[in-house]
Amino acid sequence: MSQENKTTSLLVECEECKHRFKISGEFDGRVTHKKEFNINGKSIFLTYYDCPKCGRRHFVQIDDEITLEKLKEVKSMFIKLSVMRYKGNNIHKKQLVKFKKAREDLSKHRTLLMKEYTDKSIHDDETDSNFVVRFSV
């Protein structure tokens, strides 16, 4: 199977209506969405999915300028380590520790953002509606 035909999906349950459905990050038929919002002059990026039955929005991740930079670093390190492993090269413990620390740092910053923005009211210009941010993780 080619790499482009592989998709990752996850079975989830709506917190509102208990409907079970799959979400995925595939490019065609994408179920998860990432959208930028501005709160008090600060840009945040919320990743979410909507229940296909009742429409409830489930927020699963938050990013800002800092986490997006940290994510680039983590991805770059992951690719480098994956290439090394593919080529059969030894990966030094120091490199793995650095990668693990970068991932933990990204996760820690996202957790702090979740705490900061949970229960905040946000306006969606696209739908001209307000909503309260609550994370489903």
User: Could you report the average pLDDT of every consecutive run of 10 residues in the chain (137 residues)?
Assistant: 54 90 64 84 90 88 96 96 92 94 97 94 84 84
Q: Which amino acid would we find at residue 39?
A: I
CA distance 62 to 109: 10
Total Cβ atoms within 10 A of residue 67: 22
> What pLDDT score does 126 carry?
80
pTM: 0.78
CA distance 83 to 89: 9
> What pLDDT score does 28 carry?
46
User: Would you say 49 and 58 are in contact if contact means Cβ atoms under 8 Å apart?
Assistant: yes
